[in-house]
Amino acid sequence: MTEVLLDWQDSERTETISVPAGETILDAAAATDIGLPFGCRTGACGTCTARLLSGDVVHHRPPRALKDRHLADGYVLLCIAEPTTDTHLAVGATVQSELVPNPWK
């Protein structure tokens, strides 16, 4: 079991969750009643994108919503990501806006 610190970059909120081996971060968060955005649950849409600040994760399947440069910059998809060490992640709307600029601005 690993510990994951979720850090909402657009507020002062932080939460720590325990993630059992074989479980995704999104599922572990839901099990503790922490709501995180998600869409497809297959790594295709990118709605659940977070940024890895420290620690390591593995994706259970190819993260199709992320380009190689996103992976190199530390972005992960919580719906298919499992931590392999204690981990610190940035989450929230600002992470999404880092990844995909709003075309309406």
For 55-89, what is each residue's pLDDT tens digit? 999 999 999 999 999 999 999 999 999 999 999 99
**For residues 40 and 7, what is the distance between their CA atoms, to the nearest angstrom?**
23
Tell me which residue has tokens 């993630």. 19
75-77 vs 87-91, strand pairing mode: unpaired
pTM above 0.85, yes or no: yes
For 5-40, what is each residue's pLDDT tens digit? 999 988 999 999 999 999 999 999 999 999 999 999
- For residue 99, what pLDDT band results from cuts at 50, 70 and 90? confident
